[in-house]
Structure 1
Amino acid sequence: MRLLLVLVLALAGRLALAQAAAALPEGLTRITEVEGVAEYRLANGLQLLLVPDDAKPTTTVNLTYRVGSRHESYGETGMAHLLEHLLFKGTPTHRNPWAEFSRRGLRANGTTSFDRTNYFASFAANPDTLRWYLGWQADAMTNSFIARADLDTEMTVVRNEMESGENNPGRILLQQTMATMYQWHNYGKGIIGARSDVENVDISRLQAFYRQHYQPDNATLIVAGKFDVAPVLRAVAELFGPIPRPTRPPVPQYTLDPVQDGERAVTLRRAGGNPMLYLAFHVPPASHPDFAAIEMLTSVLGDTPGGRLHKGLVEPRLAASAFAYAWGLADPGPLFLGAQLAPGQDVGPARDALLAAVDGLAAKPVTAEELERARTQWLNDWTQGFNDPERVGVELSEAVSHGDWRLYFLGRDQIRRLALADVQRVAAERLRRDNRTLGTYLPTSQPERAPPPQRTDLTALLKDFKGEAAVAQAEAFDATPANLDARTQRFDLAHGLKVALLPKTTRGSVVRASLRLHLGDEQSLRGQSTVAALAGSLLDKGGAGLTRQQIADQFDRWRAQVGFGIDGQTLSVSINTTREHLPAVVSLVGRLLREPAFPADVLEEGRSQWLADIERQRKEPESLVSDAIDRHGNPYPRGDLRHSPNFDEQVQDVQAVTIEQVRAFHRRFVSAARGEFAAVGDMDVPALRAALDAGLTGWRQPAGGPLAYVRVPRPLVDATPTRLVLRTPDKANATLMAVLSLPLNDLHPDFPALMVANHMFGDGGTGRLWMRIRERDGLSYSVYSGVAWSNVELNSRWVASAIFAPQNRPAVEQAFREELERSLKEGFSAQELDQARTGLLNARRLSRAQDRVVTSQLAGQLHLGRDFGLSQRVDEAIGRLTLAEVNDAWRRHIDPARLVTALGGDFPP
């Protein structure tokens, strides 16, 4: 019956495309279809891709322009990214897009890369919202203001985004490595641009850049998810069709760097962070057939724990972690290998081991086992992306930027067909001494050069490409609270585990699950926080008679992503797999929880990585500010679960943990005595229930006393108001955080009103903080406020935060203070309330359409004894709120005199 339903839905999706194609609107031509993705063209050159999928009630739209930082001329660096920002400043008929996004509940933004600029939005499926968004994009394509006044404020916002990136030594090292690799090509320039160009950009040049590239023949529109095909085709023809095809000729891109003929080096010295190494090689573009081998080499070298870098650097404790990745770009791009070192580690041995791992490929070629492991992981990730309508649009956008959207499918086929001999050939050709960036230049009479760079003949490459059959469609699911409750099966297993299952067909038969087990009490967990966290990180690193690598390989074969962790009193396991594999995955999870191996060498690896992260945080403004806020007024002694340790205490705690303590913690605390399991998606309920019974029945339960689970109380602690200033030398970005303790929880009568009031003040595109500090004053890239709601005690936290350049601290503080005082004195307006109410309700509907969110909510409901009826009642309460109720709640609970404020940055003494 289920198979029949999937086939019917798949045929329905193809029938919708076929029917729409039979009567296309004027000016629209059907080009081709590959695996359920249909391509159309308007007469003006706009390319349209439709990917209908009713699996969940959301729609995602991507509009990709084939313009990125590589298209910028001298003096124009950062122009593509700056233009992305200015497009959101509106048009004569769409004056405030951010406000409309918030009102309609869109999750929208834009991104810029080397090869493209992409604008995207996801929202609860709604034909009116879809048409409105398409209308705004059509209008913005040629009618955006791109005005001097907007540039003046947005330039400083972009500069603050640049300053935020300057705080990250790894990001700057990456940028400088690229600059050393590329002598002529724009890939050697950072996407965000040179500071001087961003600060001095000429508005007329920016407007010319906009008119040159923001045209229908340079754009691809992608609509994915739940929508009716025929109305979308009509809307695209009506909204984009009238835009004339430009008469300007396309600007050719022909710059390629010459073959590198010797090692290159770059050294970065800055305050903070830990030693890091990058080893970079020039590799072919994403469209080149050899790029499949590059993808596999990154996994063979950089995978954890099976990768050669992990074995050669991390296991011998020469580095805290190692990695490898390649950027698929339109022109020849980079492959990166690297290592993050722990505090005080010597770079020399790590560098030697990194080079040895690469050079060793000649004497020790890639094995068939390594290739198959890498292939399995890559194809699993590709399948998960193709099964997610919100992700597939982004993936297609990237393929468009590489030259043709069909490369998305061709790349998969190339991975499938890739031969071991080709992997070794490409490694020998590309991973050469004279093609790498690291170390010192040494002249040689016999340089070993990589093949010359070349572009791909896409016409020849794709002339016989057909693709596979279209993916099967899933049911159209209505994610209302009532339907979520009606479709959910709740029951208790014999051993006490509470279970909530929401079976439904999904694209690719995907299912998400969450297991939570609750541990200990206030006294028994004293001094155990760090031991618990390390124990949680080791649960999938060996156990049930399997090695770490065997566990990772088995999950890969089952197309499963599984994560383990322990935080506070909760052991959590997250699962993302498919219907056919879910029972087996659950069974193995149960065995790993009951029979962990806790290998001592992996504990040392985890300890090293944790210590490296602590050292990184010591100099970061955001980490220092958050730490200071958490510790201010904290009344709990060291060792208490609620104590907030400083960085030195964290280091001492991590260094003190032994493998014997980890194993003892598991024996004393971990069991199925109290817990919840939730799953959402395509599942065989009887088989899953049997797997849960087999995996957890008979598991030892604490026999009362100190090991029984009793939730540690977290009563409200009203900290003394204060203002803390923390200096972080050599950091170009600063942070402000203000916190206020609230005697509320999410069941309090004021919960809906305060949530709406905060939305108007600091959340969303119409929030007052955003409109003042970012939009009007141009002081911050990220500014917001929100409430961390407790669902038990009357103990929640209102938090406001902003990042900014250190010299702008007085202006940011003044703007925050003025907006807070104005909101309390004048209150909010009826128009703000209407916008906030609509935006919040749309956002809540969108969240209930996400299987990942619903899975987490179901597990939480089991623990708290709730259902989705509460969500419906909150929605109804939001709908009934009056302006007086909202303003009264805001004034009743938000008191500037009680704020705890902290600022961190490179401020004058």
Structure 2
Amino acid sequence: MKKTLYSLVFAFILGTAPYAIAQKSTTNTAQFVTQVEGIKEYKLNNGLQVLFIPDASQSNVVVNITYHVGSKHEGYGEKGMAHLLEHMLFKSTKNLGDIKKMLSDKGGNANGTTWYDRTNYYEIFPYSEENLRWSIEMEADRMINATILQEDLDKEFSVVRNEFEIGENNPMGVLMERVINAGYVWHNYGNSTIGSREDIERVKAPQLRKFYEKYYQPDNAVLVVAGKFDEKKALEYVNKYFGAIAKPARALDEIQTKEPAQDGEKFVEVKRAGDSQAVGIMYHTAPFADKDYAALSVLEEILTSDPSGYLYKSLVDTHKVSSIWSFSPQLRDAGFMFIGAEVSKEKNIKQIRDEVRTELDKIASNNYTEADVKRAQSSIAKQLENLKNNTIGQAVNLTEIIGSGDYRLNFIYRDNVEKVTLADVKRVAEKYFRENNRTVGIFIPTKDEIRVLPNEVSSKEIKNLVTNYKGREVEKEAKAFEASIANLKANYAEGKLNNGLKYGIINKEIKGEKVIISLNLPISNEKDLAGKQEIGSMAAQLLLAGTKSMTKEQIKDKLDELKSSVYFGFSGQNLTVNINTYKKSLAETMKIVKQMITEPTFPEAELEKLKIENVTYLEGNMNDPQSVAFTEIQRLTNNYPKSSLFYTSTFQEMIDDIKKVKRTDLVNFYQNYFGANNGAASVIGMNEKEKIQQLIDDTFGKWNSKSKYEKAYPTYHATVKNDKIINIADKENAAAVGGLNLKMNQNHSDYPALVIANEILGSGGFLAARIPMRLREKEGISYGAGSYLDVPSDPKNESASWGYYAFLNPTKRDAVENAVKDEIIKAAKSGFTAEELKSNISSWKTSRETALGNDGTLLALSTNYLLNNISFDEFTALEKKIDKLTLSQVNEAMKKYIDLEKIISVYTGTFKK
């Protein structure tokens, strides 16, 4: 399924003390409560709940705090206040000062999100005692000491409004919001979390402070610390910083609003600019804590999964819609299931809507089978297992579970999914999937309706449900792995198969004994691949569509059962294969992969579905400002003939090429071009070299490309200043994108200085570089702005580029253009400061250290070494060069390479009304 998402009551303390001190320091010492499957729970006397999830195999630590406050808690005139407050808490505090600057200086990853029931903030850093201490101190400080200044709010509401406008450009997003809004009569789940534009613009700092002081308190929060960290030190810091905050005297009232049973099918029609059509349907369902939620999840998989889903088969296989997906958020109160279907613009949308409704009417009476239930349970189990074994992701994802009532509900949900029976599926299908319980968008009087009233779950019931829950035995912990190049080299082995395929093995354990194999398989040459990009891409995608021995449905079912995932993709000259599995499933998974690459059938029906899906997706991008801007800048900066691998097609050209593809084209491409003999495979999570070599050899050792491989290189094209405005009708948001070409690779002596110049100008830190600071923080005219630098590592490639981007209200086009160009001029004329150089080098290095804690980074380093002979030592060598940089070298690189007279700019949006 494609998941679409749309993104302190506290007596104010006077005096100089950083925090309100509790009666006795011992009363606010974290006390151990329980341990559930590796999650250790503590509680402070002031009400703060603390969860520790240690994982020695990680090199990073995440601190994530969740507040039980979201858009559900907003009253009249407050729509969007929870989300706006989330933005404001990245401004400053009375004790620590500028939060964004500190986050920027430290590097790492940080973010905040708001949803119906909760708001969260998290930071991910390479583990050190100082990073752990600072994160906990900072979260405690901004819990009660945020400044929330009117001058900051005046700038930030424009940024939030711009974020709102970006969402207004998404046809499916707008449809989904309108359908959900129409589906609810009283409950605040019917209101968009991003809020009302009018409320966002009119809210004042005192109003926001009242909201902040009501909900941002320890008894309304859950702190999660996960990854690699010293538990004793973490408790010490929690006690020191959070323990010093007094328990508030007030008690928060539980929201009592209950959505009444819907009493008739509703209809919504949205008419907005766009190219692709869509149908959206919402059914009222159950809270996450209700057992029905698990049964509904199983039914959701049975209905919409590709390729076995009942709705998928009746609507996608028959070409009535190009794709179908569903979304069931984990909510505290009775929630909903949203089903979305994208429809080709050639179709009659009202006829398709009625045909979709006809299929929905069958849900309650479909003859579901035991095999359907088992298949769905396997798919959900795989998703849950993968998340559980990604500790950093698990810690952040717990935000949703905590918001729904309690962190243990996640395990109870898993247990409930495993217990779902065929009778349960039929029961929830009959209970919830009634015509009078759905919104497709008019009131229709009917008689003898059986109205649906979803179950409610009280806080007391949740407490009783989770109090004595112990969960399953804690699995064996993965070994610690230091995130450093030296350690990577010490734990790396390589080899080569007889057919030429190289492989590298990273001896690093992953939680749950997970194994990841990443293959990059270069093929053919520029001449033979001319005009075949869409054919190659579709051939790669359809390797999963069936073999001589297994159908597409059987392949997916088996992979779900094995908790494995396989991906094929093709672009340029590279076929990529990604395999995610577990040690116990590796051998069987590789047998399936071997079938896919040696006996694919490329079913005609699957090709037609894929063509419709891809065309519909491209149609949706044809008038999207951001998509158009980034595509057009590529076309203007890279002047290649259409036959070249490096040519950038227009959306219409891609659509035309896709419609021409025939099954015989795919078969010929597969037979003549695909193969592994020039490629590289990188493995992480398993270090048995002989076994791995045997598996890779058995799978890919005889899969060779017939076409001679010659690596194609792009050529450098000098760019000349040019501004292009593309008007797109009826768009709330606009985009500005600029770029210039550089003749450089990473061996160039100026590369290190240019890296840091770009960091300071537009790419570094947490929104602290000059371009985002000017456009977002100072002037509030762009939600997203920055710059990027793309320099190849291959010593034979000298085609590099630099660019900037900004997303804006169309009325701010001139202001954005002037601000970006002014920052470039000032940087070239006056240079950067010594403080900027120091802080950006520090945050850049920290971000790279953070990246080394990511398995994807380690696999990429291995692949680059195997294919391009780029030594791991180059990673640290670049850091050493950057450590030696002088301010004059960085300023000189800025003046030398970022030249306004060479920048091409594209502006897309509704600039003329």
* Alignment match, 1:652: 656
Cα shift at 1:837: 0.7
The letter of the residue matching 1:825 is K
- Which residue is 1:250 aligned to? 252
Alignment of 1:866-881 (within 5 A): 866-881=870-885
Q: In structure 1, what is the equivalent of residue 439 of structure 2?
A: 437
Superposed CA offset, 1:52-81 (max 9, x none): 111120101110000000001110000000
Contact 2:28 2:46 in 1 (8 A): no
CA distance in 2, matches of 1:29, 1:625: 54
* More displaced stretch, 871-880 vs 450-459: 450-459
CA contact (8 A) 1:584 1:691 kept: no
Aligned to 2:549: 545
Equivalence for 1:399: 401
Question: 2:141 — aligned with what?
Answer: 139
Correspondences of 1:221-260 after superposition (within 5 Å): 221-260=223-262
Residues 633-782 of structure 1 correspond to what in structure 2 (within 5 A)?
634-702=638-706, 707-763=707-763, 764-765=765-766, 766-782=768-784
User: Letter of the aligned partner of 2:729 in structure 1?
Assistant: P
**Correspondence for 1:6:** none
Cα distance in 2 for partners of 1:169, 1:602 equals 26
Q: CA deviation at 1:700?
A: 4.1
- Whichever residue aligns with residue 757 of structure 1, its letter is A
Decide which moves more: 406-415 or 391-400: 391-400
Query: Contact 1:285–1:455 at 8 Å: present in 2 too?
Result: yes
The answer to whether 1:282 aligns with 2:284 is yes
Matches within 5 A, 1:475-554: 475-554=479-558
Give me the whole-angstrom Cα distance separating, in 2, the residues matched to 1:627 and 1:851. 30
For residues 109 and 364 of structure 1, the distance between their equivalents in structure 2, rounded to whole angstroms, comes to 43
| Partner SS, residue 291 of structure 2 | coil
Deviates more, 1:874-883 or 1:625-634: 625-634
Other-structure match for 1:885: 889
Any idea what SS the aligned residue of 1:527 has? coil
After the TM superposition, which of the residue ranges 272-281 and 219-228 deviates more from structure 2?
A: 272-281
How far apart are 1:26 and its partner, in Å?
5.8
CA displacement, residues 300-341 of structure 1 (integer Å, 9 cap, x when unaligned): 111011111110111111111011221120111111122101
Matches within 5 A, 1:376-415: 376-415=378-417
Aligned equivalents of 2:837, 2:680: Cα separation in 1: 38
CA contact (8 A) 1:37 1:50 kept: yes
Shift of 1:646: 1.7
* Distance in 2 between residues matched to 1:738 and 1:423, nearest whole Å: 53
Q: 2:260, 2:453 within 8 Å by CA — same for their partners in 1?
A: no
Displacement of 1:587 in angstroms is 3.3
For 1:487 and 1:250, how far apart are their aligned partners in 2?
53
Counterpart-to-counterpart distance in 2, 1:831 and 1:723? 34
Say if 2:677 and 2:701, in contact at 8 Å, map to a contact too.
no
CA 1:453–1:418: 2 relative to 1, 3 Å: closer
Say whether the 8 Å CA contact 1:44–1:243 is kept in structure 2. yes
Per the alignment, residue 122 of structure 1 pairs with 124
Equivalent position of 1:564 in the other structure: 568
Q: How many residues align?
A: 883
After alignment, is 799-808 or 393-402 more displaced?
393-402
User: Is the counterpart of residue 206 in structure 1 residue 212 in structure 2?
Assistant: no
CA offsets, 1:270-298, max 9 Å, x none? 11131111111100111111110111111
| Contact 2:508/2:685, CA 8 A, preserved across alignment | yes
**For 2:267, what is the secondary structure of its paired residue?**
coil
How far apart in 2 are the matches of 1:785 and 1:494? 44
Counterpart of 1:79 in structure 2 is: 81
The Cα of 1:439 is off from its aligned counterpart by 5.7
Q: Paired residue for 1:19? A: none
Q: Distance in 1 between matches of 2:181 and 2:425?
A: 28
Cα distance in 2, alignment partners of residues 522 and 549 from structure 1: 35
Q: Is the 8 A contact 2:28 2:45 kept in 1?
A: no
**Identity across matched positions, percent:** 34
Moved more, 690-699 or 413-422: 690-699
Aligned to 1:216: 218
Deviations 1:753-787 (A, max 9, x none): 11111111101222001111100101111001010
2:521/2:679 contact within 8 Å kept: yes
Equivalent-residue separation in structure 2 for 1:906 and 1:26 (angstroms): 56
Matches of residues 321-340 of structure 1 in structure 2 within 5 Å?
321-340=323-342
Task: After TM superposition, give the deviation of residue 409 of structure 1 in Å.
Answer: 0.9
- How far apart are residue 440 of structure 1 and its match? 4.9
| CA 1:273–1:54: 2 relative to 1, 3 Å | farther
C-alpha deviation, 1:544, in angstroms: 4.6
CA distance in 1, matches of 2:590, 2:105: 41
- Taking the TM superposition and a 5 Å limit, the aligned residue runs for 1:291-370 are 291-370=293-372
Out of 180, 183, 191, the residue aligned to residue 181 of structure 1 is 183
**Is the Cα–Cα contact under 8 Å of residues 578 and 682 in structure 1 kept in the other structure?**
no
Partner of 2:376: 374
Matched residues in 2 for 1:807 and 1:907: separation?
7
Give the alignment's TM-score, normalised by structure 1: 0.95
Residue identity matched to 1:713? Y
Equivalent residue, structure 2, for 1:832: 836
> How many Å apart are 1:359 and its aligned residue?
2.2
Distance 1:308 1:316 in 2: 12
Aligned to 2:160: 158
Alpha-carbon distance in 2 for matches of 1:699, 1:774: 51
The 1:633–1:515 alpha-carbon spacing in structure 2 relative to 1, beyond 3 Å, is closer
Q: Which residue of 2 aligns with 1:93?
A: 95
CA 1:646–1:439 in structure 2 vs 1: closer, same or farther (change >3 Å)?
Answer: same
Find the aligned partners of 1:507 and 1:211 in 2 and give their Cα distance.
40
CA deviation string 1:419-444 (max 9, x = no partner): 11111101100111110112653321
Q: Which amino acid aligns with 1:574?
A: N
> How much has 1:352 moved relative to structure 2?
3.4
1:256-277 deviation line (CA, Å, top 9, x unaligned):
1110011011100011131111
CA distance in 2, matches of 1:527, 1:124: 45
Conserved? CA contact 2:757–2:890, under 8 Å:
yes
Q: Which amino acid aligns with 2:692?
A: L
Q: Confirm or deny: 8 A CA contact 2:334 2:454 kept in the other structure.
A: no
Q: Distance in 2 between matches of 1:615 and 1:812?
A: 28
Q: Is the Cα contact below 8 Å between 1:730 and 1:906 reproduced in 2?
A: yes
Partner SS state of residue 477, structure 1: coil
User: TM-score, with normalisation over the residues of structure 2?
Assistant: 0.95
- Aligned partner letter, 2:536: A
Which residue, 800, 808, 811 being the options, matches 2:812? 808
Ranges in structure 2 where 5+ consecutive residues have no aligned partner? 1-24
Query: Is 2:852 aligned against 1:848?
Result: yes
Alpha-carbon contact 1:318-1:349 (below 8 Å) kept:
no
1:164 is displaced (CA, Å) by 0.6
CA distance in 2: counterparts of 1:171 and 1:439, whole angstroms: 15
Out of 900, 904, 907, the position equivalent to 2:908 is 904
Counterpart contact for 2:286–2:454, Cα < 8 Å: no
Any conservation in 2 of the 1:487–1:503 contact (CA below 8 Å)?
yes
1:857: how far off?
2.3
Write the distance in 2 (CA, Å) between the matches of 1:801 and 1:263. 44
Amino acid at match of 1:242: A
Amino acid at match of 1:193: G
- Contact 1:681 1:851 (C-alpha < 8 Å) held by counterparts: no
Question: Over aligned residue pairs, what C-alpha RMSD do you find?
Answer: 1.5
Amino acid of the structure 1 residue aligned with 2:349: V
Going from structure 1 to structure 2, the CA distance change for 1:563 and 1:700 (only over 3 Å counts) comes to closer
1:684/1:365 CA distance change after superposition, 3 Å:
farther
